[in-house]
Chains A and B, each alone.
Chain A
Amino acid sequence: DAKTTQPNSMESNEEEPVHLPCNHSTISGTDYIHWYRQLPSQGPEYVIHGLTSNVNNRMASLAIAEDRKSSTLILHRATLRDAAVYYCILSFTILKTSYDKVIFGPGTSLSVIP
């Protein structure tokens, strides 16, 4: 099972950018990198995903290292509503015949300070 490592917790000031790192040194060439976040008392929600190139959407940006062994989720302006646990996970491979387990690590608990 592909594994990721993230810091346990991070803090950010409101309206400042946040960079959430993730290491995935054992990533295979066909694994997507997905980010989810979980707000209190809710199920995880999709944030962004990518394969090789950096990605942007209305929620965040994803910067992927050239060797794909790490990635960074960027929240451009943190708000209080961004306080959540952020998970970086692998799998959802582009290989349609592969169904590896999708394993969630402990994630990074992001606190946003007003």
Chain B
Amino acid sequence: KAGVTQTPRYLIKTRGQQVTLSCSPISGHRSVSWYQQTPGQGLQFLFEYFSETQRNKGNFPGRFSGRQFSNSRSEMNVSTLELGDSALYLCASSDRDRGNGYTFGSGTRLTVV
């Protein structure tokens, strides 16, 4: 069974630009969650999607957005990048509607210069 795939693995962007990150969940998993991880703040919850609907949202500004497609693949977008957005962005998929936990991807390392 293929794992959670995140692309790209590494990304360098300039302040003010926007970026789109992609996550392909495990086949059959309908829930996709996104987390931002920085050394200072740890794992911070961004949002969760289930069946193309946002179910939960963390405390991030509106520059952070996401969506989920009918095949459960998800994208997150960050507009007007700031230096502080440099982080590891992790995607986790689950069939949590059956009470199961997460499988994480390896993440996308975003560096904003």
Contacts and interface: CB of A to CB of B under 8 A. Distances in A.
A34 B48 CA distance: 18
Contacts of A46: 101-103
Contacts of B102: 36, 44, 46, 102
A101 B94 contact: no
Interface string B29-66: 00001010000001101001010000110100000000
B25 interface: no
Contacts of A36: 101-102, 104
Given A43-B106, A44-B104, A105-B42, A94 B55 contact: no
Interface range, A side: 20 to 34
A105 B102 CA distance: 16
A15 interface: no
Contact of A102 (B33, B42, B105): B33
Contacts of B45: 101-104
Contacts of A107: 42
Interface of A: 32, 34, 36, 42-46, 49, 87, 92-94, 96, 99-107
Interface of B: 4, 33, 35, 42-43, 45, 48, 50, 55-56, 58, 90, 92, 94, 96-107
24 contacts: A32-B101, A34-B101, A36-B101, A36-B102, A36-B104, A42-B106, A43-B105, A43-B107, A44-B43, A44-B90, A44-B92, A46-B101, A49-B101, A92-B94, A94-B99, A99-B48, A101-B58, A102-B102, A103-B45, A104-B42, A104-B43, A104-B45, A105-B42, A107-B42
